[in-house]
Amino acid sequence: MSPPRKLHIKSYGCQMNVYDAQRMVDALAPEGFVETANVDDADLVILNTCHIREKASEKVYSELGRLRVARDEAAGQGRRMQIAVAGCVAQAEGEEIIRRAPVVDVVVGPQSYHNLPHLLAKAEQHGRALETEFPIEDKFGVLPQPAPDAIRARGISAFVTVQEGCDKFCTFCVVPYTRGAEMSRPVAAIVEDVKRLAENGVREITLIGQNVNAYHGDGPDGRAWSLGRLVRRLAEIPGIVRLRYSTSHPNDVDEDLLAAHRDLPALMPFVHLPVQSGSDRILAAMNRKHTADDYRRVIDRFRSASAAIAFSSDFIVGFPGETERDFSATLALVAQIGYAGAYSFKYSPRPGTPAADMPEMVPAAVMDERLERLQQLIDQQQSAFNKAAIGRTVEVLFERAGRKPGQIVGRTAYLQPTHVMAPDSIIGQVLPVRVDSLERYSLLGELASATSRPADAMAATGA
Ligand code: 5AD
Ligand code: SF4
């Protein structure tokens, strides 16, 4: 038997990329590849790139420069190191990468990961291989499933892609070009994936998609199911105690999803709902197809479904033409909603998107200053949200051993990391914790009851 070949994947960007990296590991496992944390040892290095913000491609080329050195050193020891570029930069700039970076053996777009073994073999024979088509077949149908020990090693929380691509065409965003048209996986395939994960110890599932609440996969009854219906079905699967979904668009929030929040204790009351700006003028220029008031109404609908729901969001500052007045409207919206956390970014033009050609770029210094003000406000809201947990008893799903001996770390419904001193047998269980203090972004506390509830008993409350 030949010794295992070593694979190192460096992932950038979103949760979809984290998930895709795992699927690439699964696709290459039958070829005898095992993961290594050390680039220098690797027989295959994959850069899983992100194109959404800032000089993404330049980062890839400088990383490739470093990899060339590692590859030459490996060659000096008589070892061949193959190098692949995957992800959205590969999709957007495949040909250019092949031209500019001779060190690269394989370029593979996000729709073609199931073909990786074939592409590597092709590169062995012909020197290079490129695949960035959007194939007709559903890549999920043909990607190998993770092995049980791979699932267990990844822990009790897992991502499952249910939807990919986006038809919204916000004017700043590359996703509709790099991930393609929106497509939803069939309900039965997702149910199978989640059952398999649950059987191997996974307790929490985050359903992911670029526009996840546009989900409309084929149901077993031959009709298109909404995300709310899908979640309701998944909550019935034994072992699954928590469900989440990300990322949502305000225009695709329907009654099924709200009803799921109202009815299902397993559906966590924490919703990532990007708004990008609080100014109607800028929202129109972004082609968001909603106003700030539309967004406020969506938030109100969620809150009427369940008062426990907290929100996070994404914001872009310095979109072309953004005035101080527009920016104040963003601050006003944040002040009014009150977020548990949010991400904010400086606008960066993405080649090929409509906004990249818009005049009136906001000067860098103005962007910096606005970003700072927005982040300060968001930080204050996040701290206030976290402080509010002190003195309360909160439900925590325990995930892993902490850094200190005897410490176990889990997360609350709102993804706040929570540390307690306890035996590691509590990993995988949801237990009440009395929170006594806050350390940076983490809650510190004690188990509120000595008796532990088995995870399956919690799942039974799901449906
Ligand atoms: N510039 C800055 N931020 C961007 N985002 C997407 N495209 C851009 C861009 N061109 C942000 C949006 C989105 C998040 C994933 O990344 O806020 O919601
Ligand atoms: Fe990009 Fe999200 Fe807009 Fe789709 S909805 S174009 S993924 S920002």
Q: Give yes or no for residue 53 CB within 6 A of ligand 2.
A: no
Q: Give yes or no for residue 290 CB within 6 A of ligand 2.
A: no
What digits encode the pLDDT tens for the residues 321-337? 999 999 999 999 999 99
For residue 146, the model assigns a pLDDT of: 84
How far does the centroid of ligand 2 lie from the alpha carbon of residue 90, in Å? 19
Q: Distance from CA of residue 375 to its chain's centroid? A: 21
What would the mean pLDDT of 206-225 be, rounded to a whole number?
96
Looking at the predicted structure, is the pLDDT value of residue 167 above 80? yes
The larger pLDDT score, comparing residue 288 to residue 29, is at: 288
For residue 137, the model assigns a pLDDT of: 61
Looking at the predicted structure, is the pLDDT value of residue 462 above 50? no
Looking at the predicted structure, is the pLDDT value of residue 454 above 50? no
What would the mean pLDDT of 138-144 be, rounded to a whole number?
69
Looking at the predicted structure, is the pLDDT value of residue 309 above 60? yes
Mean pLDDT of the chain: 92
What would the mean pLDDT of 347-363 be, rounded to a whole number?
93
For residue 249, the model assigns a pLDDT of: 98
Q: Give yes or no for residue 248 CB within 6 A of ligand 2.
A: no
Region class of 171: left (phi > 0), else alpha (psi between -120 and 50), else beta: alpha
Helix (H, G, I), strand (E, B) or coil at 134: coil
Nearest ligand for residue 273 CA? 1
How far does the centroid of ligand 1 lie from the alpha carbon of residue 170, in Å? 10
Looking at the predicted structure, is the pLDDT value of residue 355 above 70? yes
AA identity, residue 131: E
What would the mean pLDDT of 172-182 be, rounded to a whole number?
91
Looking at the predicted structure, is the pLDDT value of residue 33 above 70? yes
Residue 198: pLDDT band with limits 50, 70, 90: very high
Helix (H, G, I), strand (E, B) or coil at 208: strand
C-alpha dihedral, 159 to 161 to 165 to 169, nearest 10°: -50
The larger pLDDT score, comparing residue 29 to residue 137, is at: 29
Q: Which atom of ligand 1 is least distant from the CA of 314?
A: 17
Looking at the predicted structure, is the pLDDT value of residue 363 above 70? yes
Looking at the predicted structure, is the pLDDT value of residue 461 above 70? no
Looking at the predicted structure, is the pLDDT value of residue 455 above 50? no
Looking at the predicted structure, is the pLDDT value of residue 135 above 80? no
On whether the CB atoms of residues 210 and 17 are closer than 8 A, the answer is: no
User: Following DSSP, what letter does each residue of 41-90 receive, concatenated?
Assistant: G-SEEEEEE--SSSSHHHHHHHHHHHHHHHHHHHHHTT---EEEEEHHHH
185 strand-pairing partners:
none
Pull the structure tokens for residue 369: 């200053």
Nearest CA to ligand 1 atom 2: 347
Q: Give yes or no for residue 94 CB within 6 A of ligand 2.
A: no
How far does the centroid of ligand 2 lie from the alpha carbon of residue 284, in Å? 14
Percent of the chain whose predicted confidence (pLDDT) is above 90 = 79
For residue 460, the model assigns a pLDDT of: 36
Q: What is the pTM of this model?
A: 0.88
Nearest ligand for residue 277 CA? 1
Residues with CB under 6 A from ligand 1: 52-53, 172-173, 274, 276, 314, 316, 345, 347-348, 350
Percent of the chain whose predicted confidence (pLDDT) is above 70 = 95
For residue 434, the model assigns a pLDDT of: 97
AA identity, residue 252: D
What would the mean pLDDT of 43-56 be, rounded to a whole number?
88
Nearest CA to ligand 1 atom 18: 314
Nearest ligand for residue 15 CA? 1
What would the mean pLDDT of 155-175 be, rounded to a whole number?
94
For residue 459, the model assigns a pLDDT of: 37
The larger pLDDT score, comparing residue 90 to residue 459, is at: 90
What would the mean pLDDT of 363-378 be, rounded to a whole number?
97
Q: Which of 249, 276, 316, 319 to mutate to test the pocket of ligand 2 (most atoms within 8 A of CB)?
A: 249
How far does the centroid of ligand 1 lie from the alpha carbon of residue 190, in Å? 28
What digits encode the pLDDT tens for the residues 75-115? 999 999 999 999 999 998 888 999 999 999 999 999 889 88
On whether the CB atoms of residues 340 and 312 are closer than 8 A, the answer is: yes
Rounded distance, CA 272 to CA 213, Å?
Answer: 11
Looking at the predicted structure, is the pLDDT value of residue 19 above 90? no
What digits encode the pLDDT tens for the residues 405-434? 999 999 999 999 999 999 999 999 999 999
The larger pLDDT score, comparing residue 15 to residue 328, is at: 328
For the chain, state the CA radius of gyration: 23
Residue 52: pLDDT band with limits 50, 70, 90: confident
Residue 1: pLDDT band with limits 50, 70, 90: low
For residue 178, the model assigns a pLDDT of: 87
Cβ neighbours of residue 436 closer than 8 Å, sequence gap 6 or more = 390, 391, 444, 445, 446
On whether the CB atoms of residues 222 and 240 are closer than 8 A, the answer is: no
The larger pLDDT score, comparing residue 19 to residue 309, is at: 309
AA identity, residue 179: R
In terms of DSSP bridges, do strands 393-401 and 417-421 run parallel, antiparallel, or are they unpaired?
unpaired
